[in-house]
Structure 1
Amino acid sequence: MNILVVGSGIAGLTAALHADEAGHAVTLVTKGALGDGSTGLAQGGVAGIYGPDDSAQQHAADTMGAGAGLSDPAAVDVLVAEGAERIAELIARGVGFDRTAEGALQLGREAAHRHARIVHAGGDATGAAISTVLIAAVRGTAITVIEHALLTELVVAEGAVRGIRLLRGTENDELHADAVILATGGAGHLYAHTTNPAGTTGDGIAAALRAGAAVADLEFVQFHPTILASGPAFLISEAVRGEGATLLDDSGRRFTFDSHPDGELAPRDVVSRAIARQASAQGRPVGLDARMLGAETLAARFPTIDRVTRERGFDWSREPIPVTPAAHYLMGGIVTDLDGRTTIPGLFAVGEVARTGVHGANRLASNSLLEGAVFGARAAAALTLPWRLAPAPTRAATERHRVEDRGPVAPTFSRAALQQLMWDEVGLLRTDDGLAHALATVRKWAASASKPTTTTAHEDANLLLLAEATAAAASDRTVSVGAHHRVDAGAPADAAPPRTRSSILETV
């Protein structure tokens, strides 16, 4: 078969390698250069190696718990059952995961995990290590690689996806294939503050929406709790808290226990909201205190974080560093079955672009790289199997909600204006009025948009489409669950609203 893989993170690279090894002719298309996406930036590790008191069943339970009960049990079972095999595959390909003095894999713990079951490489450079090895493996095969090519549309013929349209510089191109595997990542640049690299503008999800594929759970956007609140967004790995670092308010109090008995190791959505509320109350970012770990341990265990924090003027071995949340990961996406098949024959989706059902309402730390490896391999294995349609969501993400705009007059469209609107109204803390205002504003902008011809214009069109779908999905879900938090609709106890609606980062 002639296979197109779009995207070059862990999911796309794994799918491409497995498809090539199965004898298919594979072309891999990527928006930037190989290695430019989110995988290479991942500081966290890969969950799935279990000690004597741990098990796949406990990992599944932690995944379901973090997902607020909305994870698909069958998808979670696949993830944990095949995780160890995928980690072993990465080791066999050459990923040098960190080991103890005795030579065993060194296991770390992160928030909402009850055990240490996460492997890292280079301390806090796991994604870079994996990306480097997988890219080298792809370069050593017959896989054709096309870099710096933006996906603009899916080619649909007789009800099936049979190729893609690309923009390469100023030239449009069309590639045909027997099947397309989307691995284009998320849409972090819907928001004013994100950990995602610049290219994450939801291109794959938007193309799938335009082609008629089902999407679901776009309202579930994960905000990472700890981004360095100084300079460009830089993530401080959850593993730092897993090693014992604490979150402090201005008085030095560990305030996260007010929201959850697990404190700093509560699920990400809870910790992010606790930080947002505390930062708003005190008018400045909260502090992440890692002093108890000592300078030597911090430098050895977290070399990238240690270097960047010092470059920005902080000595985190002597003082707490300021942190704040930022948009990090999209739990929803293109609906798939357990083999990556979507609701359109010929179209697969893997990694963050897909809604496999694993993450439910909130992703468990270090399950994203694992999901990419597991489901990337499964999609490649399913290429020659009979097509089985994935289940459609209960409601379409693009449903045309009738809304009354109760906010101020919409400003002229710009990407920055869209990102700030989404941050304010469709971010950590949501209200009915805010969602209605966001939806009405986005629709006004979309109605006046011209046909895109440049890369930037295509990205803007994709962001507008996803902003409407995300705001509509958030408006549909009138109760709070996981990362979707409605402060005006029966929110749980941890949801005391901030003093103002404006961005917490405005105080940085």
Structure 2
Amino acid sequence: MAKSSWKFNKKWPVTQWARAACSTWCATSYSYAIHHVFTRSSALVIIVFALQQQPQQNFVVVGTGIAGLTHALRVANFGKVAVLSKGTAGSDGSTAYAQGGVCAALAPTDSPQKHAHDTLLAGSHVNDPVVVDVVCQEGPELVLELAEFGAQFTRMSAYDDNASDEQFHLCTEGGHSQPRVVHAQDATGAEISRALLERVKSHPNITLHDRHAAVALVTSPDRSAVAGIDCLAFDDDEHSTTTLGKPVRFAAPCVCLATGGCGQIYPITTNPAGSTGDGVALATALGAVTDGMEFVQFHPTALAAPPPPGEKPTGRAFLVSEAVRGAGAKLVDANGDAVCRGGMGDLAPRDQVARDIYAAITRQMSDSPAAPQHVFLDAQAVEASGPKGKGGFALKFPTIDAELRRRGIDVSRGDLIPVAPACHYQCGGVCTDLDGRVLGTTSLRVTNMGRTRKSKQRRSRSRSAGRRASGEERAPERVLVHAHGPSSHHRHAQPIAGLFAAGECSSTGLHGANRLASNSLLEGLVFGKRAADAAKLHLKMVRAEGVDVGELALDAPWPFGFDVEACPGEVDVAKAVEESAMQVTAELQALMMSHCGIVRTTRGLLRAAEGVQELGIRLSEIRASGGAVASRVLALVECEFLHAYAREVVNAALHRRENRGLHYNVDHCGDQTEGLEVARSEVVS
């Protein structure tokens, strides 16, 4: 590294000192943080714990699931990429836990049109049909490309010695009219993550940053465009008990949010602990609009058995894949009677099956308060499908079988599997267009990015004057805005410059009122790629405009309190803030489960709205009590994200005056063919 040319001047204000250091060392991309600034006698003492030059970042990807890793690989040949993971890359998102598979119309009897039909039917036709067609058409090629990347999907030869090794074994899951689920036994997500991570780690332009929790988007001084992201960085040791994070900033003209869902707003979820709605909270703070937030999917069959003796609960429910029912398992209640009695039976869409189980549990408990708060999955038909009429369950679902045996459940000896619904997937999120660009209520364009150099302003004005003089006007940026469901009144929203989203944190219009099984991984693939294509175009525009994003990010304020005196007891303060935030989180989860769960009432939703508002006041008090230290406590940041997400869910649920898909309010009678849409207004402040 070349020796820096600046010299420290003790008469400078702290901000001027930091800018001089960072502009010299960090040029257009940097990661720095000032831990404390305080006065000792008459001398200014500054402790800097993370001031270092970073390679120039052209792209930042937040999240390491299928959407984030796909996006990173697609843009890596066009510039430097920083990939941020709240935990360890590949293991902190939901992709690694996906059992069932990724669906695509690959069977000779299948077609993208049939796949699209099933997707629209499962989504109660609240989906955007254009998006559905695009995903179903582009999906097969991208799934085959995953196999070329090295994903070891299960082949027909695993079950039939006479079958070809080239032919995928395709499963059938709930809502699918054809077998179209490509899988790697019952650990598909883990295999996809392995294959993608292997390529990401070997790419010279991609840098993985583990234990970096995104807390705020950085914008240009006039807030006209995204210029990077602020994070809290923690020790590399994932078992570290350090509560305080170190503020780190990444400057980049393109930021893709692939943060996953928000299962942690409920006490029982199949999502990992890091699923706290980060992407939605980050984007909405910048003016992004949301859609479909009321559609929270509860997976019907989460394992309802306690962990082995001596093992602490992890907070994440173990999922018993829908593919188990696709292979022939049946849901029964405590009396052995069938739970699902509709036309599609156990393979009905998840919203219907979850409500059937909810009703069965309610009946059981009304008959006897001591009745189990779960139903059972009878998998003997699957067991009998193995060679010589036994061993089929362990053959087809080895991961699930191993976990069941760990908990004392053995399907081979006839044991039933106790299951109950658990929060699994958020069909809503921040609105994006067909190119994965996040939509906001105002147009934030790259051509309006605030410049700090007068020469650039003069060049820009000269170019504009030249175009006007010649009668030439720049063509407006193409805006593709879907108008699905209740977001129709957002049809005039336009892309936020430099901000993209893919995967569960986004609302693309694919899922509608209920996600079709195994469409989630497919959406991550398709929109991870589409958002990458749009990000590359955006980077090209930024370069053509001559915008210095690093300088813009340097001018942006930090969300952390650097300009305060050091707190002698900051560790104790941080622990107190953390404990208070965790208590609020637990209360929020209980509130959402009681009043905004599988089955809802208008009175319950109003109570949820009041409760969310009260908890918001508590959070403000906690932040105020912790001062600047509070901004560096991840538990508080995540609780604030959860609160923002819950507010969106309750608000959307109150404004849908019908039963549609995953949203079921007993005060509204039946599904309606025509939705009564209500213009959204803030119910919860």
TM-score w.r.t. length of structure 2: 0.67
Match of 2:648 in 1: 469
Comparing 156-165 with 297-306, which one deviates more in the overlay? 156-165
Aligned partner of residue 658 in structure 2, secondary structure: coil
Alignment deviations for residues 312-343 of structure 1 (CA, whole Å, 9 cap, x no partner): 11112312211100000000001001110012
- Is 1:33 the counterpart of 2:33 in the alignment? no
1:374 is aligned, of 526, 534, 544, to 526
Residues 413 and 445 of structure 1 are in contact (CA less than 8 Å); yes or no, is this contact kept in structure 2? no
Aligned residue for 2:270, secondary structure, equals coil
Partner of residue 166, structure 1: 231
- Asked if 1:443 is matched to 2:527, the reply is no
Partners of 2:254 and 2:538 within 8 A in 1 = no
| Partner SS state of residue 385, structure 1 | helix
Instruction: Measure how far apart 1:386 and its partner are.
Output: 6.3
Residue 267 of structure 1: aligned partner: 349
- Structure 2: distance between partners of 1:380 and 1:492: 38
> Which piece of structure 1 moves more, 442-451 or 429-438?
442-451
Alignment map for 1:62-101 (pairs within 5 Å) = 62-101=118-157
Q: How does 1:57-456 map to 2 (within 5 A)?
A: 57-101=113-157, 102-103=164-165, 104-121=167-184, 123-142=185-204, 143-157=206-220, 158=222, 159-169=224-234, 170-231=245-306, 232=313, 233-257=317-341, 260-283=342-365, 284=372, 285-294=374-383, 295-317=390-412, 318-343=414-439, 344-385=496-537, 414-449=584-619, 450-451=622-623, 452-453=630-631, 454-456=633-635
C-alpha distance in 1 between matches for 2:271 and 2:230: 24
Matched to 1:130, the amino acid is: I
Give me the whole-angstrom Cα distance separating, in 2, the residues matched to 1:465 and 1:126.
Answer: 32
Q: What amino acid sits opposite 2:270 in the alignment?
A: T
Counterparts of 2:109 and 2:96, CA distance in 1 = 31
8 A Cα contact 2:498 2:538, kept in partner = no
The runs of 5 or more residues in structure 2 that have no matched partner are: 1-56, 158-163, 235-244, 307-312, 366-371, 384-389, 440-495, 540-581, 624-629, 673-685
Q: What are the Cα deviations for residues 183-203 of structure 1, in whole angstroms up to 9, with x where unaligned?
A: 000000000110000000011
What code does the residue aligned with 1:267 have?
P
Conserved? CA contact 1:15–1:380, under 8 Å: yes
CA distance in 2, matches of 1:472, 1:480: 15
SS in structure 1 opposite 2:273?
Answer: coil
Give per-residue Cα distances to partners, 1:5-24, cap 9 Å, x unaligned: 11000000000000013x22
Contact 1:49 1:119 in 2 (8 A): no
Which residue type is aligned with residue 436 of structure 1?
L
Residues in 2 aligned to 1:321 and 1:355: alpha-carbon distance in whole angstroms: 34
User: Secondary structure of 2:288's match?
Assistant: coil
Q: Is the 8 A contact 2:434 2:508 kept in 1?
A: yes
Whole-angstrom distance in 1 between the partners of 2:430 and 2:375? 36
Q: What per-residue deviation string (whole Å, max 9, x for no partner) do you get for residues 76-134 of structure 1?
A: 1111111111111111110010001222111100000001011101x100000000111
The reply on whether 1:53 has 2:149 as its aligned counterpart is no
Residue 293 of structure 2: SS of its match in structure 1?
coil
2:543 paired residue number: none
Question: How many Å separate the matches in 2 of 1:165 and 1:386?
Answer: 21
C-alpha distance after superposition, 1:230-281 (max 9, x if no partner): 1251100000000111011223222311xx2101000000000100110121
Q: 3-state DSSP class of the match of 1:346?
A: strand
- State the distance in 2 between where 1:342 and 1:462 align: 18
* Counterparts of 2:392 and 2:90, CA distance in 1: 29
Give the Cα separation in 2 of the matches to 1:460 and 1:447: 13
The letter for the 2-side match of 1:168 is: A
Identity %: 46
Partner Cα distance (1:469, 1:46) in 2: 29
Q: CA deviation at 1:381?
A: 1.1
Q: Please tell me whether the aligned partners of residues 415 and 460 of structure 1 are also in contact (alpha carbons under 8 angstroms).
A: yes
Runs of 4 or more, structure 1, over 4 Å off, are none
Cα RMSD of the aligned pairs, angstroms, is 1.6
Aligned residue number for residue 443 of structure 2 = none
Q: Using the TM superposition, give the Cα deviation of residue 156 of structure 1 relative to its aligned residue in structure 2, in angstroms.
A: 1.8
| Aligned twin of 1:12 | 68
CA distance in structure 2 between the aligned counterparts of 1:141 and 1:359, rounded to whole angstroms: 33
313-322 or 123-132, which deviates more? 313-322
Return the letter of the residue paired with 2:187. Answer: A
Deviation (angstroms), 1:25: 1.6
CA distance in 1, matches of 2:419, 2:670: 25
Q: Which moved more, 1:441-450 or 1:477-486?
A: 441-450
Q: Measure the CA separation in 1 of the matches of 2:377 and 2:356.
A: 13
Deviates more, 1:183-192 or 1:155-164: 155-164
SS of residue paired to 1:35: coil
**What amino acid is the match of 2:662?**
A
Q: Is the 8 A contact 2:225 2:497 kept in 1?
A: yes
Counterpart in 2 of 1:503?
Answer: none
- Give the number of equivalent residue pairs: 466
Query: Partner letter of residue 417 of structure 2?
Result: I
| 1:344-366 CA-partner distances (Å, limit 9, x unpaired) | 11100000011000000000000
Give the CA deviation at 1:413.
5.3
The alpha carbon displacement at 1:50 in A equals: 2.5
User: Counterpart of 1:501?
Assistant: none
Q: 1:311 to 1:413 in 2, by over 3 A?
A: closer
Counterpart AA for 1:25? K
- Matched-pair contact (CA < 8 Å) for 1:72–1:358: yes
- The structure that has the greater radius of gyration is 2
TM-score (norm 1): 0.89
Q: Give the conservation status (yes or no) of the 8 Å contact 2:329–2:382.
A: yes
What amino acid is the match of 2:88?
A
Letter in 2 for 1:172: P
Q: CA deviation at 1:469?
A: 1.3
Unaligned runs of 5+ in 1: 388-411, 494-508
Matched letter for residue 28 of structure 1: V
Counterparts of 2:605 and 2:248, CA distance in 1: 38
